[in-house]
Amino acid sequence: MKAFILFSYALILIVSFLIFLSLQIIIRSKKKHAGKIQAQWSAFLNLSNPLSLLVLIFILAYFLWCIYQIALDPGASDGHNRLMILVFFLGFTPAGNVYIGSEGIIIHLTFIPWKNVEEKKITHRRNRRYLEIRGPFHSSSKIETKRIPFPKGIRLDNL
């Protein structure tokens, strides 16, 4: 059983690392199109966003629960399987990054050139700030609005 658990950990770690690396390569290629990066943040791991803070607390609690289950019965696969699932999903965290460049914006691995954006503004709802952009983002001519949580510590003078 121990050999299977070690093999599973190695396999999940390798797969998660390859996913993480491939997402980083995709982001790097899209950053070239975005021009000079003026601001960047993670929509997933952002401590100024209450929803992201809740997600981080959930991840930490889930991690501690997995460690507790492993410590209770190291030979059982329950805690190990749950920990491997957590590691696998953490490999996808770069997909939640937002980059604002001089030529466009990258949101969740999608590049949107500024020429496709008809309107952009920072709005406030309750105590939160959002970057709202409107325009035809896909091949259809339908106008869409995207609202992106905007961290407090970031300023954009030219927006």
- 55 lies in a domain? yes
Range of the domain at 15: 2-150
- 38 lies in a domain? yes
Domain count, the chain: 1
Q: Mean pLDDT over all residues of the chain?
A: 85
Q: Which residues pair with 134 in a beta bridge?
A: 119, 145
Is the pLDDT assigned to residue 40 strictly greater than 60?
yes
Could you write out the DSSP letters of every residue in 118-159? SEEEEEEETTEEEEEEEE--SSS---EEEEEEE-TT---TT-
What residues contact 134, with CB distance under 8 A and at least 6 apart?
Answer: 117, 118, 119, 120, 143, 144, 145, 146
- 156 lies in a domain? no
Note whether 43 and 149 are within 8 A (CB). yes
Q: How far apart are CA 31 and CA 28, in angstroms?
A: 5
- pLDDT category of residue 30 using cuts at 50, 70 and 90: very high
Q: Say how many C-beta atoms besides its own lie within 10 A of residue 114's C-beta.
A: 16
Q: What percent of the chain clears pLDDT 90, i.e. is strictly above it?
A: 25
Is the pLDDT assigned to residue 34 strictly greater than 80?
yes
- 158 lies in a domain? no
Give per-residue pLDDT as tens, 13-22: 999 999 999 9
Give per-residue pLDDT as tens, 68-91: 998 998 877 788 888 899 999 989
Give per-residue pLDDT as tens, 97-132: 899 988 999 988 889 888 888 888 888 888 788 888
Is the pLDDT assigned to residue 1 strictly greater than 70?
no
Is the pLDDT assigned to residue 156 strictly greater than 70?
no
- 159 lies in a domain? no
- 24 lies in a domain? yes
- 131 lies in a domain? yes
- 114 lies in a domain? yes
